[in-house]
Amino acid sequence: MRAIVLLAISAALLAVTLASPARADDDAVWAALKSGGHFALIRHALAPGFGDPENFSLDDPKTQRNLSAEGRAQAKRIGAAFTKHTILKAQVYSSEWRRCMDTADLLDLGPVTPETILNSFFQNRGDGDGQTAALRTWLQSANLRRPMVLVTHQVNITAFAGVYPASGEMIVMRRGDDGEFTVAGRILFK
């Protein structure tokens, strides 16, 4: 019996030890975002489905995949995490897709500016290489002295950062002195 108790205590201590670095990593990611020279790419929160419906129109949100109630709650949790880490205002840009605009708005970090270079190019609705190059050019001269948040789509983030984000995941990017971009860290909001 004593061996089982010791094993359980050891397992609990190991779990705490393994969990601590992840928390420290999260803190480092938030610190990087606040330090300047960094920006956040956020994949829109949970929206049921895949791609866009056949009758998709940017002008009509009813024709689009929209955030579920869970997605709306997820976006609010992301915004609350920004507040918890003392980021109360940010420059916020979003794809024109309703699920991105709603995610950006629910972050509650300030006015949301629609930005076409963040629009999805999945299903040939845009030019992936051209948009990614335009985004790089734009970000090379962007003012990153205060936090910047870009809400966009999986395909855009994968093309830019080389990672496959989950819905509601934040990828913090660093802009180097050479104008190149590297991943500083990732945080998944469930």
pLDDT digits (tens, 9 = 90+) for 168-179: 999 999 999 998
For residue 181, what pLDDT is reported?
A: 97
Residue 4 has pLDDT above 60, yes or no: no
**Which alpha helices (DSSP H) does the chain contain, by range?**
2-34, 69-84, 98-107, 128-140, 154-161
d(CA 41, CA 120): 14
**For residue 126, what pLDDT is reported?**
63
What is the pLDDT of the chain when averaged over all its residues? 87
Residue 55: its pLDDT value, please? 85
What's the pLDDT tens digit per position in 69-127? 999 999 999 999 999 999 999 999 999 999 999 999 999 999 999 999 999 988 775 68
How many angstroms from the chain centroid is the CA of residue 185? Answer: 11
The phi, psi pair for 87, rounded to 5°, reads -105, 100
174, β-bridge pairs: 38, 182
Q: 3-class DSSP state for residue 187? A: strand
Q: What are phi and psi of 119, to 5 degrees?
A: -65, 150
Distance set, CA 158 to CA 23, 153, 154 (Å):
25, 9, 6
- Between 128 and 12, the more confident residue is 128
Q: What is the pTM of this model?
A: 0.85
Beta bridge partners of 40: 149, 172
Which CATH topology does 25-188 take?
A: Rossmann fold (3.40.50)
Half-sphere exposure of 57 (CA within 13 A, CB side): 5
Count CB atoms within 10 A of the CB of residue 153.
22
pLDDT value for 125:
59
- Domains of the chain: which residue ranges? 25-188
